[in-house]
A and B are shown apart, each in its own frame.
Chain A
Amino acid sequence: MALDEIKIGGLGASRKRVEDNRFIRGKGNYVDDVVLPGMLHMEILRSPLAHARIKSIDVSGAWAIPGVRLVLTGEMMAARNLAWMPTLSYDTQAVLATDKVRFQGQEVACVIADDPYIAKDGCEAIVVDYEPLPPIVNPVQAMAPDAPLIRDDKVNQVDNKIFDWEVGDKDGTDRAFADADVVSEIEMHYPRSHPSPIEACGSIADFDRSTSKLTVYMTTQAPHIIRAAVSLVAEIPEHMIRIISPDLGGGFGNKVPVYPGYVASILASILTERPVKWIEDKSGNLISTGFGRDVYLKGQLAMRNDGKILGVRMHTDSDHGAFFSDAQPSKFKIGLMHSAFACYDIPNAHLTATGVYTNKAPGGVAYRCSFRVTEAMYFQERMIQAAADDLGMDQAEFRRVNLVRDDDFPHRTPFGFLTDSGQYEKCLDIGLEAVGYADFKQEQEEARKRGRLLGIGISTMTEPLGAGNSREYDILGIKMFDSAELRVHMTGKAILRTGAKTQGQGHETTWAQIVAHELGIPADDIVVEEGDTDTAPFGMGTYASRSTPVAGAAVAMVSRKIRAKARKIAAHLLEVSEEDVEWELGRFYVRGAQDRGVSIQECAMAAYSNVPDGLEPGLENNAYYDPPNLTWPFACYIAKVEVDPETGVWDVLKMVAVDDCGVRINPMIVEGQIMGGLTEAYAMANMQFITFDEDGNCIGSNYMDYLLPTAWETPGFELHEVVTPCPHHPIGAKGIGECATVGGPAAFVNAVMDALKHTGVRNIDMPLLPDRVYGALMTGNDISGMPPVKTEA
């Protein structure tokens, strides 16, 4: 008898997360929990200024403090060719500043001491003489003709522009606009935000001179990429580097890049010949590490009077900070911005993008999105709503007219991606029904008569998740595929390792479920390990919702390799030819005689004790998976809000999420991902931003200014499910980790805009703080750009 798949924790089982057992007991093992004998502690001195020339650095005060073991400056790094390091976007980034500081919070010096208190005292004792330079805090300032040159370290850099990039069909799009009945235009800004995982970044570098081996415990989402990067930067042979990424307290993209602290701790360990621990504080994390967004859009839609969209034009100006260190596929300068409008049937599209340097922290990362898809989908859904209003057409109906139909797949998107599956209109209908859209217009009208402002906002989007394929997706030339290695022990238990790196997604739980589905080995009998480059097979790491689409597929494929070998063993045990062996979950049996069978566990034992002639013993294998395409989950998010006309405060009355991420491996974990994503979406729409004053001071450098929503204000969410299996993924799964963060913000903003529609206001840029909403209500004007920040006395 085949096993009950749910009982063994296979596909579709809402199995409790096995990793939670140690997390809720306080038994997690994070970088800061690791203590090595003789370990020293490093603290970083950061620049208080956004833009300044360094005239001198006097470190004698730090050296004079008992317990200080080493002081590192840019000059010392430069002597070892380590003052600058390559970024993930073919730029360079200062490790410790030598010539200038280029953003507030930039790393200037490091003090290594017996304990972190002494190291901090040492930082305070360093005297840096700065000559202030005019700071640049936005793209307009950056591109002004007389703007000071931020990157005067680069030989051919004459202005603050990083790139001009374009994609799409300009001529076709121009023709579409010429033929249009109505053209809708809107400008907006997606403010700078920060992934801010609970755990900040950190590392422990341990260089052993006797073996020449460097071991680094590090908060990284991509240990193998880090190993390669460290090898290139520090010129240490790759086999002499071991990167261990232990438990991670969240990542959200923040822990993909290489940070100066990692590099400095490595050099410090080499110089002191002792382990050196660096644990970043929360302000350091907010002020200096990979942020998200900070993109300005000019968008246009060309339409016929009946609502059919003929063409789309987008131009983005993106602010990358002082160094272009975005973590993204190398071919695409503004990430996957051109995934915009992928769920709509639009024949013509053209996107131009300009990237600039500013005196702000570098490292634009994919904060819980697949390479700037968050901006793409936000711009798309805000443009769609504005266009519906400009046409005078119902926002749901406008989407219905333009959504790709179920029988249109595979479908070429406006900017050239190929989507392969989905039931878009069905998701929309479920969402509309759940939110009570049919009766809403009347409810809104009646409420308005009583002075109450209600609004509904819709966001429908599809997200390109699971980079590669390797033809198009690489980072610094390293192709974006993934791997899994499965070892089945003789008693039928197993260990699975992948090149991905869980940081809260629950790989230890879900990977075992995929193996259980493929082999019938109960999930509880499979241990999952990731994060140690000495033991895990090569992989590109976990971000951009790529783990289930890529590494998860590799898990299925390696399981199938194991099953293929087990089938040979089963034929041997059953004394029939392999062609006569049938499989059902957990066992092989003889065709036509279902009671004559052997379990997968019996095959495992035989692999080590009774191997047929001509077959290698053992039951282990690995698989590298290069996906044929991205996966394309779809979602429809609908928010219903009420705006207080006296204060501008808005409350979420209902938030409905309809997600189609294909086959769900662990529905509970999927729902957790959606709720987490919606919470972050709500945060960005409602309260969250990092801005800079005219002096380049970072406003949002601590958790009193940069707000994370708590359970008190986070609204409730109502989740619905549609399943359209991915046609090319081995188990039909699509990515889900980021959909709600990507699609959620526009639903909230569209809802508030809907509530304000009668005033003529078309746009308020996020976050929709009460004073901005109230200001728009009072004046009828759009509110653009960042919230007002002045450094008044």
Chain B
Amino acid sequence: MFPSRFDYKSPTSLEEAISLLAANEDAKVLAGGQSLIPMMKLRFAAPAVLVDINNIPGLDGHGAQSDGSYRIGALVRHADLEKSSTLGDHQPTIAAAAPLVADPIVRTRGTFVGSVCHADPQGDWASCMVALGGSIVAQGPNGRRTIAVDEFVSGPFQTVLAADEIAVEAVIPPASGTRKGGYLKLERRVGDFATAGVALSLEMSGSTVAKAGIGLTGVGSSTISATEASAVLVGSSLDDATIAAAAEAAAAATSPRSDHRGSADYKRHIVATFVRRLLAQHQPVEAKVA
């Protein structure tokens, strides 16, 4: 496991990092390195320059902002989120997914933003961000821009990030009601990629769904936003018929392939099952009685 030759740069400011990206063709940003380093060791990736952003101050914070949005800096590790005592109050979907990302070793080093930038269709965070309607803030030579995640991820392992841009933080918009949500993932073993995963975000107005988002992991060539399933939920009180319809719509939004993790049919079935299970967790008492 010996990577190709590369240069290593360790800037101490975002401006310096961006100029290094601009000056070097085929440069890659190194944050947690939990996908990039293995790919380099396997020689699937051979960047000429690594720009290590770990020494840039100010990127390691996460928290609720005064406007109700939630920001996650580029150096926030999965474990920071997993161990956070306040995250669950604001972001139940993220809090549910954090302990399910990879394995404990990867979680101590890998980053939330890096995972979204890696754009692996089997990545958990992109599904959560899609469900939550989140964005990535990118900084380049000409300043910052905010890109919705479903536009940010342009394909498998592809994003719209320019070569001289750095994703500096993830932003989850304020909720228009009481935020609920969760994440379920089927994996063969801790640390395995998802056979299938479902991220759910609900914004409740009383017992009615004001807004909903469903992101699907590992069941298509890219992260999937199950918009029709989400639309079914809006305005409902999560009665059994609505839940069944949403589960069916989510399964219909998938395009899984059969592989050693399971057949395409099975993965579709798991998506439907998990959507149903997640929604049942948030079913208001009156809907359950009915």
Interface positions of A (Cβ within 8 A of B): 43, 116-117, 119-121, 124, 281-283, 646-649, 686-687, 689, 691, 699-700, 704-705, 707-710, 712-713, 769-771, 774-775, 787-790, 792
Residues of A within 8 A of B273 (CB): 646-647
Q: Are B189 and A707 in contact (CB under 8 A)?
A: yes
Q: Which residues of chain A come closer than 8 Å to B186, judged between CB atoms?
A: 647, 649, 770
Q: Check A704 against B193 for contact (C-beta < 8 Å).
A: yes
**Known: A774-B266, A775-B263. Is A710-B103 also a contact (CB below 8 A)?**
yes
* Chain B, 34-66, CB within 8 A of any chain A CB: 42-43
In the assembled complex, the Cα of A43 lies from the Cα of B43 at a distance in Å of 14
Q: Are A117 and B2 in contact (CB-based, < 8 A)?
A: yes
Which residues of B lie under 8 Å from residue A708 when comparing CB positions? 189
Chain A residues within an 8 Å CB radius of B267: 771
Is A713 touching B260 in the complex (CB atoms < 8 A)?
no
Complex contact A687–B189 (CB within 8 A): yes
CB–CB B192/A787 < 8 A: no
25 A-B residue pairs with CB within 8 Å? A43-B2, A121-B5, A283-B42, A647-B273, A648-B266, A687-B188, A699-B260, A705-B260, A708-B189, A710-B190, A712-B103, A712-B189, A713-B190, A769-B261, A769-B262, A770-B186, A770-B188, A770-B195, A770-B262, A771-B262, A774-B266, A775-B263, A775-B266, A788-B259, A788-B260
* The 4 A-B residue pairs with the shortest CB-CB distance in the complex, in nearest-first order: A771-B262, A771-B266, A712-B190, A120-B2
C-alpha spacing A790/B258, complex, angstroms: 7
Chain A residue numbers with a CB within 8 Å of B257 are: 790, 792
The DSSP consensus for interface residues of chain B is: loop
Chain A residues closer than 8 Å to B261, beta-carbon distance: 769, 771
Instruction: From the candidates A282, A283, A647, A709, name the one contacting B270 in the complex (CB within 8 A).
Output: A647
Q: State in angstroms the CA–CA spacing of A119 and B4 once bound together.
A: 11
Q: Given A117-B5, A687-B188, A769-B188, check contact A789 B193 (CB 8 Å).
A: no
A117 to B260, CA, bound (A): 33
Additional 6 contacts, C-beta under 8 A, given A121-B4, A710-B190 = A120-B2, A700-B260, A708-B189, A771-B266, A790-B259, A792-B258
Whether B1 and A281, one on each chain, are in contact in the complex, defined by CB atoms closer than 8 angstroms, is yes
Contact of B188 among A647, A691, A707, A792 (CB under 8 A): A707
Instruction: Kindly provide the distance from the CB of B122 to the nearest chain A CB, expressed in whole angstroms.
Output: 10
Chain B residues with CB under 8 Å of A43's CB are: 2
Q: How far, in Å, is B95 (CB) from chain A's closest CB?
A: 19
Q: B269 contacts the other chain (Cβ, under 8 Å)?
A: yes
Q: How many residues of B contact A (CB 8 A)?
A: 28
Q: Decide if B269 touches A774 in the complex (CB within 8 Å).
A: yes
* B177 beta carbon closer than 8 Å to chain A: no
For B235, the chain A residues whose CB sits under 8 A away are none
Residue in contact with B260 in the complex, picked from A119, A712, A789, A792, CB distance below 8 Å: A789
Q: Is B263 a contact of A788 with CB atoms below 8 Å? A: yes
Distance in angstroms from A698 CB to nearest chain B CB is 11
Q: A-B pairs with CB below 8 Å: how many?
A: 75
A124 to B44, CA, bound (A): 12
Interface residues of B (CB under 8 A from A): 1-5, 42-43, 103, 186, 188-193, 195, 257-263, 266-267, 269-270, 273
Smallest CB–CB gap between A517 and chain B, Å? 42
Q: Give the complex CA separation of A707 and B192 in angstroms.
A: 8
Q: A710-B190, A774-B269 are in contact. Are A691 and B260 (CB under 8 A)?
A: yes
Question: Which residues of chain A have C-beta atoms less than 8 A from B269's C-beta?
Answer: 774
Cβ-defined contact, B260 with A709, below 8 A = no
Contacts of A710 in B (CB 8 A): 103, 189-191
Contacts of B103 in A (CB 8 A): 710, 712
Q: Bound complex: CA of A480 vs CA of B133, how far in Å? A: 68
Complex: A712 Cα to B103 Cα, angstroms: 10
Give chain B nearest CB distance to A446 CB in angstroms.
Answer: 24
Which chain A residues lie closer than 8 Å to B259 at the CB level? 788-790, 792
A704 x B260 contact (CB < 8 A):
no
Q: Which residues on the A side are within 8 Å of B270 (C-beta)?
A: 647
Contacting pair A116 B191 (CB below 8 A): no
Given the complex, which residues of B lie within 8 Å of A689, measured CB to CB?
260
Contacts of A647 in B (CB 8 A): 186, 270, 273
User: Shortest distance in angstroms between B281's beta carbon and chain A's nearest beta carbon?
Assistant: 15
**Least distance between B185 CB and chain A CB atoms (Å):** 12
Residue from A709, A789, A792 within 8 A of B189 (CB atoms): A709
A283 to B38, CA, bound (A): 12
A116 to B195, CA, bound (A): 36
With a CB–CB cut-off of 8 A, which chain B residues contact A649? Answer: 186
**A714–B74 Cα gap in the complex (Å)?**
34
Shortest B141–chain A CB gap in Å is 34
What residues of chain A lie closer than 8 Å to B262, measured between beta carbons? 769-771
- CA–CA, A787 to B260, complex, Å? 6
* A116 near B266: Cβ-Cβ < 8 Å: no
What's the least CB distance linking B140 to chain A, in Å? 33
Query: For the complex, what is the distance from the CA of A646 to the CA of B2, rounded to whole Å?
Result: 44
Cα distance A153–B267 when bound, in Å? 45
Q: Which of A691, A700, A775 is packed against the most chain B CB atoms within 10 Å?
A: A775
Q: Tell whether, in the assembled complex, residue B258 and residue A704 are in contact, meaning their CB atoms are under 8 Å apart.
A: no
A699 to B262, CA, bound (A): 14
Closest chain A CB from B188 CB (angstroms) = 5
User: In the complex, which residues of chain B have a beta carbon less than 8 angstroms from the beta carbon of A788?
Assistant: 258-260, 263
Nearest neighbor of B190 in chain A, beta-carbon distance:
A712
How far apart are the CA atoms of A691 and B260 in the complex, in Å?
A: 9
Find the B residue at minimum CB distance from A786: B260
- Quote the shortest CB–CB distance from A634 to chain B (angstroms): 31
The residue in chain A whose Cβ has the minimal distance to the Cβ of B1 is A281
Nearest CB in chain B: distance from A54 CB, A: 22
Q: How close is B49's CB to chain A, nearest CB, in angstroms?
A: 17
User: Smallest Cβ distance from B23 to chain A, in angstroms?
Assistant: 25
A119 to B2 Cα, complex, angstroms:
9
Provide the residues of chain A in CB contact with B42, threshold 8 Å.
Answer: 283
Q: How far is the CB of A279 from chain B (nearest CB, A)?
A: 10
Residue of A nearest to B270 (CB): A647
Q: Are A771 and B263 in contact (CB under 8 A)?
A: yes
Minimum CB–CB distance from B161 to chain A (whole Å) comes to 25
In the assembled complex, the Cα of A681 lies from the Cα of B261 at a distance in Å of 20
* CA A119 to CA B262, docked complex, whole Å: 38
User: Which residues of the other chain, B, contact A770 by a CB distance below 8 angstroms?
Assistant: 186, 188, 195, 262, 266
Interfacial chain B residues near A646, Cβ < 8 Å: 273
Scoring B43, B189, B266 by chain A CB atoms within 10 A of each residue's CB, the highest score goes to B189
Closest approach, in angstroms, between the C-beta of A690 and any C-beta of chain B? 10
When the two chains form their complex, are residues A124 and B258 in contact, meaning their CB atoms are under 8 A apart? no
In the docked arrangement, what's the CA distance between A282 and B3, Å? 15
- In the assembled complex, the Cα of A262 lies from the Cα of B243 at a distance in Å of 61
Chain B residues with CB under 8 Å of A691's CB are 260
Q: How far is the CA of A371 from the CA of B153 in the complex (A)?
A: 51
In the complex, chain A residues whose CB is within 8 Å of the CB of B188: 686-687, 707, 769-770
A713 interface neighbour in B4, B189, B258, Cβ under 8 Å: B189
Closest partner residue, chain B, to A284 (CB atom): B1
CB closest residue in chain B, given A119: B2
A790 to B260, CA, bound (A): 9
Which residues of the other chain, B, contact A700 by a CB distance below 8 angstroms? 260
Residues in B whose Cβ lies below 8 Å from that of A704: 192-193
Shortest distance between the CB of B276 and any CB in chain A (Å) = 9
Taking the closest CB of chain B, its distance from the CB of A679, in whole angstroms, is 12
Contacts of B4 in A (CB 8 A): 121
Residues of A within 8 A of B43 (CB): 120, 124
